[in-house]
Amino acid sequence: MQVQTQLSWSERIAATIIQQCDGDGYHAFPSGRWAYVEGMTLMAMARTGQYYGKQEYVDFMKKHMDLYIQPDGSIGTYTLEEYNLDQINQGKNLFALLDGAEDQRYAEAAHLLAAQLAGQPRTSEGGFWHKKIYPFQMWLDGLYMSSPFLSEYAKTFHHPELWDEVAHQILLIERQTRDPRTGLLYHGWDESKEQVWADSSTGCSPHFWSRAMGWYAMAIVDSVEHFPVNHPKRGTIIGIFERMCHALVRVQEQESGLWFQVLDQGFRKGNYLEASGSSMFVYALAKGVRLRYLEPHFREAAEKGWHGLSSRLVEETADGVRLNGICHGAGLSLDRDGSYSYYVSEEIVSDSFMGMAPLLLAALEMERLP
């Protein structure tokens, strides 16, 4: 536990999140359902509470989880048969609730989510479809939603074969989506090559979306953390992570230290420095350095990115910490064609938990750097 006299960035951000919830924690998430952004926010809050010894942040997470976890371990508003990887993400908070729990409901909920992944529809090589309604498609987003959960589940419930599954998912999508020229990863891959956004020869979507690569970068550092050091694929995963981080540093905007919405398009008309992806990269770089997955020189890129976030996109007001420049949402479908014009046309918002949660994770990771 860290002891200090002045509130850190992460504590100020966490306090703002609670304030945005009208103080009681029940108005935080207007979706009113089990969902991935909510799950990421709760995880960031709990980690901050654990690190700084602030039980109210951990309690905030538990209060929200208890809105959904039923006495028998079923999950309100969740449907396994949707086979939607996004719905796994909030389950990462279950592991922090297991210790000291008087009943088995958190464990049963974790088993339910693991059962979804056991039956998740797959590509011909065993890659998880992003959702049942997106056949034969793998998205970078899905690796963050599912892999860290499955990796911690493997450790917690002694299922070592699931580390092999996690490694397979991480390595397969990297092999299918990596551009050898830039080293960057395309947002999605359609094995069937049927989608309007899919390249006819590779099946990949046409651009490198910042937040998609952010999800993938976070997926690796949060998954490998739970691997045994002697797992045969651990070193390979860490190796492709470092290779990818070199590619990310090459497209880091030098003056601001931030990353563009479309990573390799610089100041092309419509492109902009985007907050959520930049926060995710800072988090992944800083955690990678702290856990020694990355060489120490990557710390400079993380520090530069954090300085850019805190000086250019963050404001502190009487209402707390504000974050600007957040892409509200983006995906791939018939009306979301993955084109450059599509990515830069999505709404840009402030203070969305889609950006605030990665900002909190990034702040905490920077504070944890030795």
Give me 333's structure tokens: 């479908």
Residues 269, 270, 275: CA angle, nearest 5 degrees: 130
Please work out, in degrees rounded to the nearest 5, the angle formed at the alpha carbon of residue 337 by the alpha carbons of 132 and 202: 75
Contacts of 142 (CB under 8 A, 6+ apart): 85, 86, 128, 130
321 neighbors 13 (Cβ within 8 angstroms)? yes
Provide the phi-psi class of 205: left if phi over 0, else alpha when psi is between -120 and 50, else beta: beta
HSE-up (13 A, CA, CB side) for residue 337: 7
For residue 289, the 8-state DSSP code is H
Please state, in angstroms and rounded to a whole number, the distance separating the CA atoms of residues 51 and 10: 10
Whether the Cβ atoms of residue 113 and residue 90 lie closer than 8 Å to each other: no
**Contact between 210 and 259 (Cβ < 8 Å):** yes
Is 199 annotated as catalytic? no
C-alpha–C-alpha distance, residues 320 and 253, integer Å: 27
**Which of 175, 212, 216, 219 shows the shortest CA–CA distance to 197?**
212
The DSSP letter of residue 90 is: G
Longest dimension (CA), the chain: 58
Which one of the listed residues 24, 66, 99, 141 is annotated catalytic?
141
**Contacts of residue 44, Cβ cutoff 8 Å, sequence gap at least 6:** 14, 357, 358, 360, 361, 364
Point out the residues that are catalytic.
141
